[in-house]
Amino acid sequence: MLVLTLPAPTAHPAARPGMLLFTIAMLGLGAMFTLAPRLRTPAHSHGAMLGAAAGTLLGVSDVANKALFHVAAGGPVALISSPWLSLTVLAGGSALAASGRAFQERDAVPVMACASTAANATAMLGGIAVFGDSLSGGAFLSGLQIAAFTLLAGAAVLTVSGRERVAVEAAAVTA
């Protein structure tokens, strides 16, 4: 549904002033996901939370990279001196570290489900908030896109909770 309802491509403007606010909010969300294991969240969700942190940070890196693309038109000096380069590298490196730790915590499937959902949600929000990208042209198609993404996000959550429920039921049967 998401692919079939994509709008026609348009020229992307450079980053808007909302980039700073978006970046701060998403880095805060990534930090919250990273700290979740220390905030007494259930142990079975630690890997998924770290996966969500990795995805959020990767999404921030993607948005910063898009801003960096526009800066690159100014030449190599503009590219190297841009704060978006530092943000791209820092957020991407942090995403890699969070991802590695997430895979040490839990099974790969829930970690990847949460990481990919968070990365896509962050990148889409960044496209809308920072660059003025839009969903489909009409209200119906935009609603369809939002519904499709909601289903994907719900599937990621069910992947995490479903695996735990199966493990609990299996333990009850063997006991």
Q: What is the pLDDT of residues 7-23, one digit of tens each?
A: 555 555 555 667 778 88
Q: What is the pLDDT of residue 34?
A: 83
Q: What is the pTM of this model?
A: 0.73
Q: What is the pLDDT of residue 24?
A: 85
Distance CA 55, CA 28 (A): 13
Total H helices, total E strands in the chain: 6, 0
List pLDDT tens digits, range 34-45: 887 777 777 777
Q: Which residue bears the tokens 């801003």?
A: 67
Q: What is the pLDDT of residue 18?
A: 75
Distance CA 61, CA 155 (A): 24
List pLDDT tens digits, range 68-121: 888 888 888 988 888 889 889 999 999 999 998 888 876 788 888 889 889 988
Q: What is the pLDDT of residue 168?
A: 46
Contact criterion met (CB below 8 Å) for 18 and 129: yes
Distance CA 71, CA 83 (A): 10
Task: State yes or no: pLDDT of 60 exceeds 50.
Answer: yes
Task: Specify the long-range contacts of residues 145-152, CB closer than 8 Å, at least 24 apart.
Answer: 145/1, 145/2, 145/5, 147/1, 148/1, 148/2, 148/5, 149/2, 149/120, 149/121, 149/124, 152/117, 152/120
User: For the chain, what is the mean pLDDT?
Assistant: 78
Distance CA 12, CA 131 (A): 7
Identify the residue with better confidence: 164 or 136: 136
Residues 6+ apart with CB under 8 A from 67: 14, 15, 19, 82, 84, 130
